[in-house]
A and B are shown apart, each in its own frame.
Chain A
């Protein structure tokens, strides 16, 4: 009897306060660690720009999906000439930008034109150096001519840097971006959030699930955890507090999905300096570090050790972690052989990311101490890190995660143009060949060769692949588990009822 009365009472109260049963939610709050400085993905290299705008606001000729596959985007199909030098794109018809202006071949010529050639304004012109020209054939057809065959061009055109922008509104792209995607910017409070609203001119309005999508920027890792626990953020694609994952895993309100990223976390040991220019010392350092132990301590086990600069989820990946396995005795022998029987002292510069750099740095320091290497930890701010180790090449040891997809080629940039200081002509030749190879199986062979060379040389001390620690309300569905490119594509997301 008491139960019945309580139920009646509860339903009366619910009715009185206007609690309609199970109304579908049409908004989504997405948490992000870093805020995009500008909203133009083509001229800014910051990952956060792509993470807000890619696919949600801007689309490219091709489109990359959760698995890193190349799908049709604004081009419905393409045709590659036999010599691999000309790609003819057939554009989708009936597409309109958010400001109402129609999309056609002129927009492609404009957008690609500004990121290629000597006066490219792209922040990453290296993605598009092989494109010699872009030409309109008719309103719905465009050809891209390459100076040499390039196996990555379709993938790169599907990244945020290659998206199609609107010429009429280009001057305000940084603050009010107009694209062809399902959403546009509704409100922006700098330092706090960006709210996307529906693009009223989107080609397929019925497929747009949310009325608003708010990207909320939370810099403090404690506040990230709190915001999800309090129910104020529905979805954190990549939460920067691995220590909190267990709390979410044990709570049925939340779903935790650990995916992969393109972030190879490596410790650079400066090739320009002694003793790191000695291969024996490099091998000793690699033998000294237990990568699984590092992952367990810094990432609570949620990451994959790597033995080279390549993503383990890529089909072309070769597992080379066995090349210089954890073996402190061997490390001491090698150090003695190299002339450092008592080890040596050095410095280890740590940029800000707490999970991999600061915590990882402490763990590595203790492994190094085991074999007699005394590494003094120097925590720095990101701006200092960029100025010192990265651009000034001023460091002994440092750690960073390289999040650009398929970026093994950074080891071919040479000692004058990149902070590693690594230089191996054999490796550079393989990278050159790769650039011109379009056949996927041949590329896989060359990728394997490239991975092998840098793994043996220890061009960096390879640590682990950065995981994507996704936490979300258990009812949020259709989001990416992994991130093959820098993106938070929420165009397929929805609330499960």
Chain B
């Protein structure tokens, strides 16, 4: 177990180093001067040059990269070019929106998909199965931003029972969760559709196993077999997909936060790219990489709990 975790940890560090180098190089190549973007077309050339100097953009690239990595090691992310406030603080504030959004979406998609998958598998090639598969087809086909706009138009504009934007957690847990519900639903639809298909086939696969027949022969009911034997074994492929989906949900939140105008990490990142706020972009990208790697690490650890076999290997 320990060496398993240690290997995973090394992989994590390697991934992060690679991610940091790639994002830094890409930002070096992409055209656009942060100082000019910030000051605008009416600014004088001298004012722009002064700003470049203030932002440290006139230093050699290698010096800036080493400075950045050195800062990361002591969790100092520097100041945002645009807002002049610490990047760490900005990102932390944004995570209080994006992480709950992603988890809520993950929860929604899992809670919808697994029962649907079980239902479809239990009713294989019958009417209920076709219904679930049709839902799944539609869910995969509908782009989540379009579904988000549809939800907004219905619930916020037409019925006016939801608001646009995010009131902040200061407004209360309920108000905050309410504001995240529509975007989470928009994000969850596509993921739930995929997950339902995976769950269905994983369950069908497991149902063909000998031990399931044995369990039935021992006299357990269909329901008991389903929960105790089938679902537990089917959870291994399902949890792999759920872990991968977390990364997709983080990526999807970039678009959805823009549609719902939520002040999350995705919206911050889009704005930072438009503004060439290099300090925010590179740290946010590395952070997203950390999150994805960490969640996959958790999933790997979870396997060990669900299925004891990898430990001994």
Interface positions of A (Cβ within 8 A of B) = 35, 37-38, 43-47, 121-126, 174-175, 189-192, 216, 218-220, 222-223, 226-227, 229-232, 381-384, 386-388, 390-391, 400, 402, 404, 407, 417
Contact = CB atoms under 8 A, between A and B. Distances in A.
- Most chain A CB inside 10 Å of its own CB: which residue of B39, B82, B165, B276: B165
A491 B131 CA distance: 58
B85 A386 contact: no
The 6 A-B pairs with the shortest beta carbon distances in the complex, nearest first, are A383-B32, A192-B263, A45-B40, A45-B43, A230-B156, A123-B43
Interface in B74-128: 80, 82-85, 90, 93-94
A125 B46 CA distance: 9
B275 A391 contact: no
A125 B44 contact: yes
A121 B31 CA distance: 26
A130 B160 CA distance: 55
A391 B42 contact: no
Contacts, number: 139
Contacts of A124: 42-44, 47
Given A381-B32, A383-B32, A223 B261 contact: yes
A190 B90 contact: yes
Contacts of B38: 37-38, 44, 46
A386 B259 contact: no
A218 B31 CA distance: 25
A383 B42 contact: no
A191 B274 contact: no
Contacts of A391: 33, 36
7 contacts: A175-B83, A191-B267, A191-B271, A192-B261, A216-B165, A383-B31, A390-B36
B149 interface: yes
Contacts of A192: 165-166, 261, 263
Given A216-B165, A230-B163, A230-B164, A222 B33 contact: no
B152 interface: yes
A222 B149 contact: yes
Secondary structure type dominating chain A contacts: loop
A232 B165 contact: yes
Interface string B150-164: 001100110010011
Interface of B: 31-34, 36-47, 50, 80, 82-85, 90, 93-94, 149, 152-153, 156-157, 160, 163-166, 168, 258-261, 263, 267-268, 270-271, 274-276
B39 A189 contact: no
Given A223-B260, A226-B164, A400-B41, A123 B36 contact: no
A229 B42 contact: no
A230 B162 CA distance: 9
Nearest to B46: A125
A35 B261 contact: no
- Most chain B CB inside 10 Å of its own CB: which residue of A125, A220, A231: A220
Nearest to B38: A37
Given A37-B275, A123-B43, 12 more contacts: A38-B82, A44-B40, A46-B38, A121-B47, A190-B90, A190-B263, A218-B261, A220-B258, A232-B165, A382-B37, A383-B276, A387-B31
A43 B258 CA distance: 29
A51 to B, nearest CB: 12
Nearest to B50: A121
Nearest to B170: A187
B157 A387 contact: no
Contacts of B94: 191
